[in-house]
Amino acid sequence: MSDVRKVISTGEMSVEGRFVDASNATLFAKCVVGEMEVPVIYKPIAGERPLWDFPDGNLASREVAAYLLSEELGLHLIPFTILRDGPFGPGMVQEWIEIDEAVDVVDLAQGQHPSIRAMALFDAIINNTDRKYGHILPKNPDVIFGCDHGVTFHEDPKLRTVLWQFAGEGFSEKEKQILQGASQIAASLLSEYLTRREVEALNGRLQELLKHGAFPKPSEDWPSIPWPPF
């Protein structure tokens, strides 16, 4: 485990501010071990707002599930994320990413950057209902992360994203391998964080993606872009 991850996992956490525009309690905090200090995002489960289409109290678990799957598939699209205790009880804690303000996120998100394409594929896998421009974090022009994966892995098709430029494009061989790998590890990796039916639905999506061999197209039965898109 790297020093940063060790500090996030075990350090004493202090809350320094709150993101007032966030739907759920989203706090800026710092974890400290000795002289090492690491900024983080802390989302206590107690601050999750109930949603009509997701079970109460498990958005943090979905964020961790998304991180674990991204890492296991070698995509590395999500900052280090864990479940741990904090000043307001257990919750999701994620490494804070300082974004490159010189990068135009809308232009980036509508372009052909390999990490944006990988993010579009990953969102199709996890059934992301909320891929907004503001959930794309360019650390620099080459390293891009995504955040806010609490409303993912639903049993019903709910993909909503601003990344539709790849819709209908065929998967590369590498992308097919990623999909196949996900189907092999999903149950054992995610059963602690998702229900059995959600894991089964994930495997069903993977099989459908492999069957069609292409990025999904926007649904005619469900809004395809989150609102607001930022």
- The per-residue DSSP string of 80-144 comes to -EEEE--TTSSEEEEE-----TTS-HHHHHTS--HHHHHHHHHHHHHT-S-B-GGGEEESSSS-E
Q: How far apart are CA 134 and CA 139, in angstroms?
A: 13
What's the mean pLDDT in 58-77? 97
Complete domains list, the chain, with CATH: 3-212 (1.10.510)
The answer to whether 182 touches 65, Cβ cutoff 8 Å, is no
In the beta sheet, which residues pair with residue 40? 29, 95
The alpha-carbon radius of gyration of the chain (Å, integer) is 17
Q: How far apart are CA 213 and CA 197, in angstroms?
A: 24
Higher-confidence position of 144 and 23: 144
Average pLDDT across the chain, whole number: 95
Backbone dihedral angles phi then psi of residue 152, each to the nearest 5 degrees: -135, 170
What is the secondary structure of 137-170 as a DSSP string?
EESSSS-EEE---SS---SS----BS--TTTTPB
Amino acid at 195: T
Q: What percent of the chain has a predicted confidence (pLDDT) above 70?
A: 100
Q: Given a cut of 90, is residue 74 above it in pLDDT?
A: yes
Q: Given a cut of 80, is residue 1 above it in pLDDT?
A: no
The pLDDT, as a whole number, for residue 2 is 84
Return the minimum-mean-pLDDT range out of 141-145, 148-152, 182-186.
182-186
